[in-house]
Amino acid sequence: MAWGGAMNEVGARVTKMVTKRYADLQEKPDAVFYVIDASRTPQQRSPARVVQQMVALQFASAHQLPMALAWAIIMLCKHNGYIDMLREEIQESKEAGGLVSTSKLRLMDCFLRETARLNPLDGLSIQRKAVKPFTFADGSHIPAGNLLAVPQEAILRDKRYYPNPGSFDPWRFYSPADSDKAIVRFTDVNWKFPFWGSPTQSCPGRWYASDVIKYALVHLLENYDMEPVNPIYRPMIWTTAIAPSLTMRVMLKPCATSYGK
């Protein structure tokens, strides 16, 4: 397995970890053990193959958060009228010591939720494989070995659930602090918003991801003005993946006005 560039460092670190793990194959609840345990043939259990699997797992689990952040930045550039409103909300959310309370960023929650609605990271969600034949309550039969998924992109653009589904409107989710309407969070899960998975088995790291994205946006909004250099708002589609354009560039300029200082 050949590495190049920064992958040399990544590969070396993972190889060291896997080699150490092979020296002690007593069951431990970690990812390396489960990859080794799931490998059935000598070829699959080779250290080189396990290293490859671990690197793939790391990248598969790590790309979603920065992609969601990238989409948020892109939508801020495209709908820059929200920038000042979000900056004002950030200042109002600060507690003693100047720390931002992310739970008070209601508009940002709605902005991120609407960004995810129009730019899901995959056209499909909740992908599953039938390990044995299964029949749904309506009579639909799934033979063993078939793959199933929820058509996430279609649901998120369905006018039955979202009026004017093609328009970017964070306010569709917003409720003022003094409103009786339930607060809608970026992390909320339901069948009309399967971005985080199903209501019964959703992403356990979504609160962490949400806070990381929020703090990153707080830093950017307080310190920089954002300007698209070459606005390319169309996504890059690869199989079912929906990714930001690889060639779009955003210029960050230090704010002329001091925010949050």
Annotated binding site for heme: 203
CB atoms within 10 A of CB 159: 9
Task: Considering only CA atoms, give the Rg of the chain.
Answer: 22
47-62 helix and 64-78 helix, angle to the nearest 10 degrees: 30
Per the annotation, where are the binding residues?
203
